[in-house]
Structure 1
Amino acid sequence: MTTDTTTLLPHALPTCVNARIALFAMRRMGAHGLADARAAHAFFTAFGQGFRRPLVLMRVLMAELASTAAGTIAIAPCCCARMTPAEAALVSILGRIEMAPEKARLLTTDLLGVRRVENVLMAAAAVTAAFADEGRPVS
């Protein structure tokens, strides 16, 4: 039995550049820890002098995801040109948290396998707001 990339990574990368920045940071922090230098550099490059707030809030989001999840959250290496279902859900949560919070809540509960996801949703909303405040809305 053979498996191809579209079976393991069924979702295309987001078309939104800002969502790709968030995805890159999630992949780096998920694989290498919250203090990953490449994730910090990507935020500095994208946000300039205003990089600290989005970076710190992304770290908070990743810590909340890790501490709340009932199981593992599958992430792909940074070089992958496709996304795992979990990554697609995370990007979708960031894109929907402001305009469709109930859909974001449902996605989050499905992703994490727990009912109480308020801390994760608050962190996701803060990340989304920080991106938007710096002129980089996630869609």
Structure 2
Amino acid sequence: MHIAFNLCWWWYLGGRIEKVLGKQTLLIVVLLSAASSNIAQALLVNANFAGLSGVNYALAGFTWYCGTFHQSKSIFLPNNIFIFLVGWMILGFLEILPVAMANWAHLFGLISGIALAQIMVKPEPRT
């Protein structure tokens, strides 16, 4: 179920980025966020994990930033979904959920996605 959930987020968020900014941009975001999130999780906890969650948090941060700060009509994530994802990450850090989560991968993925959006995306012209 976890893999299916992650693949749905990957398809939804990654698809928006790919359609508007191209495959190259999506590939850069995926590779850099995968590296930062997985290295952080391995260094801060251990290397005994696998998943796409850190990349998905990067894609969420990237799309949220584009919609919120660049006022993009093409790449965006509604605030309520973004708040839910951040809340879920906080619950993971509090360790009150019945599942183990790669919390540091989530956090570093989110940070890297927002940072990459700041660097790679220019605001859309206002009409």
Give me the TM-score of the superposition, normalised by structure 2. 0.37
- Structure with greater helix share of residues: 2
Give me the TM-score of the superposition, normalised by structure 1. 0.35
Q: RCO greater where, 1 or 2, for CA within 8 Å and sep 6 or more?
A: 2
